[in-house]
Chain A
């Protein structure tokens, strides 16, 4: 038997119009953590989906424990000992932790001829598993009592309970705090000690370098190479991912903040544990960052400013004038727009064209005979946006769902630019998009600030905030714990403020 527990050789997969995988390779050793890296659209998920039988590969071999396999579906893969923790969780919140761990594979016992679920065994096993990982949860508790990050850990338990030989983690730390990341890494080490192979998919360089043994890099569906993690640096990885040397991660600053213009006063949520007494100011031409851990209620505060969430108090002023905002349409009329955190969930209209996605917020602004949408005018705006923001799309009639994440994000930014807003709130504007596209988004943000717009940028990635923002507001557990600028703009200071109330 070879030293590899899993080998994927020369995997090819084509979709109409795209060669998603072109001779992709991956070889995983037992007891090793193998990072799979590449920009979005490089084919990482497609490769994993071929492993799990979600997609059928066109050609190539998958060799698992010395024999060739072809999984028909993820369930078959799980039974073989190949488990995946998805980036987007699929929890059943109303059921207990144990039931979530064993869903579809409940332990059974026989009462006479009838098979029934052995609840006692299920809860005992689940509890044992949780204890083994030093997770302080009760297996009987409903899943909904956990936070999103704790659910992620339960999801990992699920993989372990199947006695997996291979565990695949897809962006597992996207919603974890630093402390939880440490916990996760501890669990990963336990796994590898037991001889389990781990495939780790992530964009976070420091994590990759910290946890993985080998790194395989993909680009445009092709296998670029595999290296020992110890001989790689962040710059080398990025260079290989993008296929060219990337000198700077962030564009040079071109904006100069002016006077305070946008004022948010005493926002309190109707929910006790959400944001309370939040006040801040933003200047014109300023990029104000908003930092904080998951659960700091940053998104909630921004949505409240837009009129999307219930508040008991809170006022917004622009240049001294009170803005009357009860709904997003009020906010947009007053010149405040929001780029939402969840691009697929509340950003794009997947089945609509790029043109409709850009124009949707402006349909009432360009009317002929007071009732007919002036499509010519809107198309001009769309063409202009495609040019200025260099949106890569076959045509403006293409459905937006066929574009890459970065281009989708640019389309949504165009939607708001068409309204010529004064204040742009951007919630995680670069989440899940590749390095190259990130740079372009940063440039766009910088340009907008230079034109005198006020930008409020929420992000979970501290380096990004430090690299792009003029000033950073930090939140912790629903409260604003401070502002940092100039020399104070460093990870330590931000971390200190964002964990102020966390013991």
Chain B
């Protein structure tokens, strides 16, 4: 009898701890039964393409979150990177070309170098502000968010940028080896995921990252240079945001300064639903992927059921708060 009660408690805890994931999966099944197109080829690919971009952003955010920091400039960094890519990879005969007289260089290379250069600079500044200047990450990166948006507005002249070269947009829309279910973007995200998994679990960087998140004081006494690690984590995150911007620009087929606004919140939500603790020190790559996937499924579900876009924001906001509340609950229960 006692044994039985104990198990019930265990099951209950499991349900609560994974509540958000379970609910969304159940609802997906219901929506899928109601409308078989939900599990259709087209929808699945579309879902995977969205998830790919968001997962790459979430991996970046996760590195920062696990160290008890945050990066609210993520979305704007993604957006700016997307704009750089779009301006450099426009069709030669496009009328409203931002740079009509580009020198005959390899634009792919220039684009890559510029994006990497900007990303590392943004990451470095974020890292310096948070570590050396001791500005709380929330405030420091929020300032960065505004700054990058301003730079992006200046850079694009507040105009939308279209006319991207076919090679770029086709690549983003394309499937890997002609497999319908496997978008090229998904392959990129998968490779990034493998890299992040390796980095988090099998390198000194990863071990130190989890240690700092687990207990910064103990990490410091153990000879870990926290400032250096903080800066590196922001630079890693920024590099991933730039990559996500490159992916997103092509997927959207055109960009503007509004690209990816607010994406940091979706990434934070994905991480938290996937078990990255906002208290630091905990988070798995598999969890992040599940979290992002589940959050995206929720959005598409609502589109399928025909919920007004305005309401989807309400639901998403609530889910974020619930996910974090459940995460904190786990932490309190541990005490």
Contact = CB atoms under 8 A, between A and B. Distances in A.
B4 interface: no
Interface in A332-375: 332-333, 338, 340, 342, 345-352, 356, 359-361, 363-364, 367, 371-373, 375
B329 to A, nearest CB: 15
Contact of B282 (A332, A351, A373): A351
Given A360-B208, A372-B203, A329 B218 contact: no
Interface in B1-20: 6, 10
Given A360-B207, A360-B211, A375 B202 contact: yes
Contacts of A350: 214-215, 281
Nearest to B216: A346
Interface string B280-302: 01100000000000000000000
B204 interface: yes
A371 B210 CA distance: 17
Nearest to B210: A352
A261 B86 CA distance: 65
B221 interface: yes
B211 A352 contact: yes
Interface stretch (B222-230, B256-264, B310-318): B222-230
Contacts of A306: 221
Given A364-B204, A372-B202, A328 B215 contact: no
A87 B223 CA distance: 30
Q: For chain B, give the interface size range.
A: 20 to 34
B203 A349 contact: no
Contacts of B303: none
A340 B221 contact: yes
A356 B207 contact: yes
Contacts of B215: 345-350
Contact of B221 (A338, A351, A375): A338
A221 B183 CA distance: 58
A349 B211 contact: yes
Interface in A372-387: 372-373, 375
A329 B214 contact: no
A308 B282 contact: no
A327 interface: yes
Given A363-B207, A363-B208, A351 B223 contact: no
B203 A371 contact: yes
A43 to B, nearest CB: 17
A346 B221 contact: yes
Nearest to A368: B202
Contacts of A338: 221
Contact of B203 (A331, A332, A360, A373): A373
Query: How big is the A interface, by class?
Result: 20 to 34
A373 B218 contact: no
Contacts of A364: 204
A410 interface: no
A34 interface: no
B35 interface: no
B43 interface: no
A361 B225 CA distance: 11
Contacts, number: 83
A373 B202 contact: yes
A87 to B, nearest CB: 15
Interface in A154-212: none
A327 to B, nearest CB: 7
Contacts of A328: 220-223
A104 to B, nearest CB: 20
Contact of B222 (A351, A360, A372): A360
Nearest to B334: A401
B214 A349 contact: yes
B217 interface: yes
A305 to B, nearest CB: 12
A338 B221 CA distance: 7
The interface centre, meaning the residue of B208, B211, B214, B224 with most chain A CB atoms within 10 A of its CB, is: B214
A329 B224 contact: yes
A230 B202 CA distance: 60
B207 A308 contact: no
A344 to B, nearest CB: 8
B27 to A, nearest CB: 30
Contacts of A331: 223
Given A360-B207, A373-B202, A373-B207, A352 B223 contact: no
Contacts of B225: 327, 329
A415 interface: yes
Nearest to A329: B223
Most central of A306, A332, A352, A360 by chain B CB within 10 Å: A360
Contacts of B220: 308, 328, 346
A333 B224 CA distance: 12
A361 B223 contact: yes
Contacts of A352: 210-211, 214, 281
A363 B222 CA distance: 11
A97 B214 CA distance: 34
B217 A346 contact: yes
Contacts of B334: 401
B232 to A, nearest CB: 14
14 contacts: A306-B221, A327-B225, A328-B221, A328-B222, A329-B223, A331-B223, A338-B221, A340-B217, A346-B215, A347-B215, A352-B211, A352-B214, A371-B203, A373-B206
Given A333-B223, A350-B215, A363-B207, 17 more contacts: A308-B220, A329-B224, A329-B225, A338-B221, A345-B218, A347-B215, A347-B218, A348-B215, A349-B210, A349-B218, A351-B214, A356-B211, A359-B207, A360-B219, A360-B222, A361-B222, A375-B202
